[in-house]
Structure 1
Amino acid sequence: MKTLLTLLFLAVPATAQFDVDISIDTRAKVFRVHESFANPSGEDVDLWIARWTPGAYHPADFGRFAKDFTATDGAGHALDVERVDDSHLRIHANGARDLRVDYVAESISSGVLSHGTIIDVESNRIRDDYAYVTPVSLVAFVPGRLDEPYSVSFEVPDGWKTATVLEADDEGRYSAPSFYRLEDSPVFFAPDLTTVETEAGGRPLEVSVHGLPAGEVDDVVDGCKRIVEAAASMMGGLPYDRYEFLLSYTSNGGGSGLEHSFSTLILMTQGMPLDAQWGIIAHEFFHLWCAERVHVEGIRHPDYTKSFSSKTLWVNESVTEYLSRHVLLRAGLIDREGFFASFQSPLRMASFATDIPSATKASLLAENWESGQDLMVWSMRMYMLQPLTMLALDLEMRRVSGGKRGLVDFVKTAMKEYDAKGRGFPEDSVQEILERVAGGDLCRIYARSIEGTDPPDLASALGVIGYELDGDEFRPLSDPTPEQLAARADFFGS
């Protein structure tokens, strides 16, 4: 064993890392990428650009936007590059132990959706006055070496600023301990970029804002802080050392966002009212728990070389959408009437939308998106209809547990049992975890409204917190029991 370890240390330099230099060409609207790394074995190297984005889930095949690949050894001698397919290249190393790869990648995003199904925030964009990069859409990687560190530099136009949660050294190079961390860290560039450093929930917080008049930045920062503090209170702390909101207000922003473990990138429409922004910001922030840390095992260490499939994606999206409304309530950005009002429209349409695929089926269908229509169906289920089911599920869990535990306790339990142990939950375990947290049977609602498409029986579920339905109006009972009042206080967090 000692001899084997010695050989391993000799074979791989202690400073092994991938050095990436990215130049943003605003005239040609392309990224020019230079990537250097050690190749200790001297053997041929399979190089990939990701086929999909964690958080977006559908096939994207980002490699199709990259071209003009060349490779050289440490002495600058040209090496053959074989393009196996759009996202997969093979460098014929000829024994070379140091490699450099150069390529050009076109700016992908021109609007909310580009090239059929690619969402703006999962990819990258270059405009005359700003740019952004979600690294998974641009930076090549070697499977089997995803845990090695990356060092990245960005060459931007004069006067432009850079915002990212990644730490920069004295030379302006940004470091990530692994490809997993790099691809999870979007970067925004613009000349008119304002970054406010503050604190919320006892942790450092940065809010970087682009495209918003200076007089409106403070209001956005204040709302972000309130969301962070409310979520920290609800969840019993924050799962990070530092966090950054990257918020851009553009003429072609659609209010889309993509979650990351230590930051989020959100593209707002210019002129969007503040009240309309809080739901997006709270949703992406709550993904810190549900999606980034509580997720199926296949997302814990994703395989970027092939498409991803899971029937549990509703946990990532619909549980997040539902609980983010509780965050807004606790933050004082909506009141109880506003909380229940957010369920009125889906309540009215639920019985007419049974042809929309179920939560589990819609989750599986993400692997096969082909058009914007597929995204619309996904959004209808995950963000409109399914949060209504999550409300009913939360209430049913509280009924079964005697008013003591609900859906937020499912997330907390999964954090302890899975995230804290560095793993995701098994594909078929969600119902079992929910029932264990609740302390009873949830088969009916699970079969009816999660695996099936029937709307939940919300009218009977509301009684546990002393509410009732009057048409599509949520009304508190005039004479609730002490048990209902206690369950109501726990439900609302007050």
Structure 2
Amino acid sequence: MRRQMYAKPMTTARKSLYVCLIAGATVASQAAEYRVAVDPDVGAARVEIRLAEGESSDLFSMPAWAPGDYRIVNFGRHVRDVKFWQGADEIPLKDGRANGVNAWRASRPGDKVTYTVLAQPPGIFSENLRITATEVFWNGPAVFGWLEGHAKEAHSVRVETAPVGGVFVCPLSGVLDAKSSERTFTAKDYDSLVDSPVVFGTTISTRTFIVSGKEHVLAAFRRPASLSLTDFETTCRAIVTEAQSLIGELPYARYVFFLDVGGPGGGLEHADSARLAIPPGVRSTGVAGFLAHEFFHAFNVKRIRPKPLGPFDYTRPAITSTLWWMEGVTDYYAELLTYRAGLIDQEEFLANLGYAVDYAMNSPAAETVSAAESSRRVWEANNSSGFGGLSYYDEGKAIGFCLDLAIRWKTGGVRSLDDVVRTLYAETSGGKPGFGDGRIRDVCVQVGGSELAGMYDACVERPGPLPIRDALAAHGLFFDGRGIQRSPNASADALRLLSQFLTR
């Protein structure tokens, strides 16, 4: 990710402008059926969860946090009127909320729960639930709760009623019922359901392009007329193509760029999509690094990840010391992808890396807080960017650059950080578990040699200036106190390594 009132019941079909049905797959391991009716007049969504026949639960929960935003936000704060049912009979709640603000327990198990979700202010990185007369956007954790014991089964999403002439966009695969205009979208489990944003309405513009047989959708909303989707296709296609060249595959069936034009916040990644706040009227090259950052999260965070970042526990903080890699190294690869794709030139590329090195060398916080500690304790800071004043975005970007140069230097240009990324991807993608503590360090040593162990520890585990000067010199570069410069006395070997690094 990157920064950048319930008044009355819904009474008429006209007021219920948008109605969606989230239905369990018709298999033995059927999950809950979720019915969602969104009313623009009152700014609320009414949700019904019905379990399969013979199934029951007495505990309903909402997420405490949303993956990608490392803060406790307690989505249950925006939920009202929770009721359990068995058939047509309402079941009383037992002692109100069972787990603080985000959970409710019934006095006995039931097969259905109903609740109301209020339209919510945006988070740091994304809208949560936004409802207007012509457009609806939701981020899954803000809307969908779960019944205990029923989060692992397959789900599908069926839109019962969409606005006339409107557009419905979701990364989940689906089909269209031509007779009724109903749409059905499938999700393998609750994690996938809440990781799939939805936008629908009459004001949405879309454009589709194909890379290696995979569909990529640009969905612009809120103020879509101010963007050229043809322009954005050119840049997004270049980024996707370069990322595939790096990794060797595209790990999704379909990917959606949700372009919230004039929307608040920054960007929030999902496995098969990203929601991005785009300034009105901007050219795509002006936000290429932002687009690349959020897109690369489809590989790094959503596939390459530590164990706490999937499968998720939505009830407590997912503590990891590797957010410097998840966010900062993703930012480093945003620079690499845009440079390799020809979207920025050599001088801009080196200047951008110089800004990150300047932060790592001159930030007062770097003298007292390590990248690992900034990552691990971010939940205490409640800012989703780092503990103790140290940004794991900026520090991690500089660390990625440092480790890349060190690996190239110590292997004579034979290996690079690309090899670390591909190794971690092979170990954690395709539904495999996330990596354990110390695995990034182990792979850096495996790829770059034993000297990388000390370099890694100095970069990640200990506070202090970034140990990058020797690796820069080995590439004919130096840090002048503010940025990166080329050395006039570089050796032939250094110029060769620099040429390899800068080869697109």
TM-score tier after normalising by the smaller chain length: 0.7 to 0.9
Give the corresponding residue for 1:313.
323
1:308-346 CA-partner distances (Å, limit 9, x unpaired): 211112111111110111000111111111111113334
Structure 2 counterpart of 1:193, from 200, 204, 207: 204
Q: Which moved more, 1:462-471 or 1:397-406?
A: 462-471
Equivalents in 2 of 1:200, 1:481: separation in Å? 41
1:32 touches 1:105 (CA, 8 Å); kept in 2?
yes
Match runs of 1:176-191 below 5 Å: 176-191=187-202
User: Residue 63 of structure 1 is aligned with which of 76, 90, 107?
Assistant: 76
Spell out, residue by residue over 1:363-421, the C-alpha distance to the aligned partner (whole angstroms, 9 max, x if none). Answer: 11222244x5x758689612223312221111112222222222221110011223357
- Structure 1: stretches of 5+ with no match in the other structure: 1-11, 111-117
Cα deviation, residue 20, structure 1: 1.2
| Aligned equivalents of 1:458, 1:292: Cα separation in 2 | 29
Output the CA distance in 1 between the equivalents of 2:340 and 2:125.
30
Partner of 1:414: 424
User: Partner of 1:40 in structure 2?
Assistant: 54
Equivalences for residues 141-152 of structure 1 within 5 A? 141-152=146-157
Secondary structure, counterpart of 2:394 in structure 1: helix
Shift of 1:216: 1.4
> Post-superposition shift, 1:354?
3.0
In angstroms, what is the RMSD of aligned CA positions?
Answer: 2.7
Partner of 2:33: 19
Partner deviation per Cα, 1:62-105 (whole Å, 9 max, x = no partner): 1121110112223x1112234213211223445x5xx2211111
CA distance in 1, matches of 2:422, 2:193: 26
Query: Which residue of structure 1 aligns with residue 349 of structure 2?
Result: 339
Partner of 2:230: 218
Structure 2 unaligned residues grouped into runs of 5+? 1-25
User: 2: CA distance between counterparts of 1:144 and 1:360?
Assistant: 34
TM-score (norm 1): 0.86
* 1:227 paired residue number: 239
In 1, distance between residues paired with 2:148 and 2:378? Answer: 24
User: Residue 460 in 1 paired to residue 466 in 2?
Assistant: no
Is 1:206–2:217 an aligned residue pair?
yes
* Structure 2 SS opposite 1:285: helix
- What secondary structure, in the 3-state scheme, does the structure 2 residue paired with 1:417 have? helix
- For 1:20, the aligned partner's letter is Y
Deviation at 1:238, TM superposition (A): 1.5
Residue 180 and residue 350 in structure 1: after superposition, are their counterparts in 2 closer, same or farther (change >3 A)?
A: closer
Structure 1 position 225, deviation (Å)? 0.7
Which residue in 2 is equivalent to 1:277? 287
C-alpha displacement at 1:423, in angstroms? Answer: 1.0
Which is worse superposed, 152-161 or 257-266? 152-161
| In 1, Cα distance between equivalents of 2:359 and 2:28 | 59
Map Cα deviations across residues 26-60 of structure 1 (whole Å, 9 max, x no partner).
Answer: 22221211111126355x43221111122112212
Q: Is the 8 A contact 1:209 1:247 kept in 2?
A: yes
2:92 match: secondary structure: strand
Query: How far, CA to CA, are the matches of 1:45 and 1:493 in structure 2?
Result: 60
Answer whether contact 2:63 2:75 (CA < 8 A) is retained. yes
> Is 1:21–1:153's contact at 8 Å kept on the other side of the alignment?
no
Counterparts of residues 95-134 of structure 1 (less than 5 Å): 99-110=111-122, 118-121=123-126, 123-134=128-139
Aligned-partner Cα distance in 1 for 2:491–2:53: 70
With over 3 angstroms needed to count, the CA separation of the structure-2 counterparts of 1:290 and 1:367, relative to structure 1, is: same
State the secondary structure of the residue aligned to 2:47: strand
* Rounded Cα–Cα distance in structure 1 between residues aligned with 2:226 and 2:127: 27
Secondary structure in structure 1 of the residue aligned to 2:312 = coil
- Cα deviations by residue, 1:237-270 (Å, 9 ceiling, x for unpaired): 22222211111102x424x111111111112232
The change in CA–CA distance for 1:379 and 1:257 in structure 2 (over 3 A counts) is: farther
What is the aligned partner in structure 2 of residue 164 from structure 1? 170
Q: Which residue of 1 aligns with 2:11?
A: none
Identify the range of structure 1 (126-135 vs 274-283) with the bigger mean alpha-carbon deviation: 126-135
**Alpha carbons of 1:366 and 1:189: their partners in 2 closer, same or farther (altered >3 Å)?**
farther
Kindly tell me: are residues 21 and 152 of structure 1, through their superposed partners in 2, closer, same or farther at Cα, counting changes over 3 Å? farther
1:173 aligns with 184
Determine whether 1:87 maps to 2:102.
yes
Identity, % of aligned positions = 26
Instruction: Specify the code of the residue in structure 1 equivalent to 2:201.
Output: A
When structure 1 is superposed on structure 2, of 281-290 and 382-391 the one drifting more is 382-391
TM-score (norm 2): 0.85
1: CA distance between counterparts of 2:388 and 2:300? 18
The answer to which structure has the higher helix fraction is 1
> Per the alignment, do residues 192 and 173 of structure 1 end up closer, same or farther by CA in structure 2, a change over 3 Å counting?
same
Contact 2:327–2:396 (CA<8 Å) still a contact in 1? no
